[in-house]
């Protein structure tokens, strides 16, 4: 079981697989006012940076599940490195339908809401692991500027304009599901640069090390086109944020 290889090539050097910086992650951990010992579940936990740093800085206990073997291994190494391996557990597996054995104070899915078939389904899934009064975290893109055409939306790597909402519409949609939005931390364009531009050097180095790989042609094309596409489209049109929700 694994994710498509292109991600483990382009994001092999990322600790955070989203347009979020370590500072934003720390801000999020701080604004949630986590109690030491609070349990946090993370579906699509990637390389584990959120749970590992929150275990170190905020004293949480974490469980993460992710389908990528590489990212899960990196998460376990990071836990060792930060001295929190006794407080965080990383499971390599499919998070679809995953419900924690023990209820959690915070149930999160950052940048992987396809796990629940979209935002609505992911909130329903996370709610099954949540203790009463707990917080759900959803990390999701939104349109900073609505693309003028469907072609522009596709250049932003969306399937269509309807894939995402504007920020006010996204916030209102949580209200429609009977959730209060109790906090949010938003990415800015420099956060996007850290996520997207960091892939370019990784790709360049990978190409130098793997010139004869089956994927080399695809990675070469991506590296050639990506900076301009990113600057013209994703960076201009797409926002990203983490939204903290509590049931009304």
Binding residues vs ligand SAH (CB under 6 A): 3, 16-18, 44-46, 49, 65-68, 71, 94-96, 110-112, 115
Nearer to ligand SAH by C-beta: 49 or 226? 49
Nearer to ligand SAH by C-beta: 1 or 209? 1
CB 46 to ligand SAH: min, Å: 3
Task: Round to whole Å and give the CA distance between 69 and 114.
Answer: 18
CB 236 to ligand SAH: min, Å: 22
3-state secondary structure of 216: helix
Residue 160 CB contacts under 8 Å (≥ 6 apart), including other chains:
150, 153, 154
Q: Which residues pair with 104 in a beta bridge?
A: 130
* Shortest-Cβ-distance residue relative to ligand SAH: 46
Instruction: Measure Cα distances from 204 to 160, 174, 177, 197, 210 in Å.
Output: 30, 40, 44, 11, 10
Nearer to ligand SAH by C-beta: 15 or 87? 15
CB 230 to ligand SAH: min, Å: 17
Alpha-carbon torsion (69, 71, 73, 76), positive or negative:
negative
Nearer to ligand SAH by C-beta: 71 or 230? 71
C-beta of residue 94 within 8 angstroms of C-beta of residue 45: no
CB 114 to ligand SAH: min, Å: 7
CB 69 to ligand SAH: min, Å: 9
Q: Which two tokens stand for residue 51?
A: 């749970």
Nearer to ligand SAH by C-beta: 17 or 212? 17
């Amino acid at each position: 079981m694994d994710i498509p290889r292109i991600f483990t090539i382009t994001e092999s050097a990322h600790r955070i697989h989203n347009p979020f910086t370590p500072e934003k992650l720390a801000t999020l951990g701080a604004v949630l006012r986590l109690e030491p010992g609070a349990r946090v579940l993370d579906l699509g936990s990637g390389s584990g940076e959120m749970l590992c740093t929150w275990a170190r800085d905020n004293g949480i206990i974490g469980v993460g599940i992710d389908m990528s073997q590489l990212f899960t291994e990196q998460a376990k190494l990071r836990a060792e490195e930060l001295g929190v391996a006794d407080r965080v557990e990383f499971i390599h597996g499919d998070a679809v339908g995953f419900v924690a054995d023990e209820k959690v104070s915070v149930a999160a899915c950052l940048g992987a809401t396809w796990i629940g078939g979209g935002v609505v389904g992911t909130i329903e899934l996370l709610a099954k692991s949540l203790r009463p009064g707990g917080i759900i975290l959803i990390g999701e893109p939104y349109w900073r500027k609505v693309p003028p055409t469907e072609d522009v939306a596709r250049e932003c790597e969306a399937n269509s304009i309807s894939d995402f909402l504007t920020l006010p519409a996204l916030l209102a949609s949580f209200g429609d599901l009977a959730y209060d939005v109790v906090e949010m931390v938003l990415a800015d364009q420099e956060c996007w640069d850290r996520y997207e531009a960091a892939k370019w050097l990784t790709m360049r180095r990978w190409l130098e090390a793997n010139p004869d790989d089956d994927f080399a042609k695809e990675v070469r094309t991506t590296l050639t086109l990506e900076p301009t596409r990113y600057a013209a489209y994703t960076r201009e049109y797409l926002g990203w944020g983490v939204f903290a929700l509590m049931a009304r």
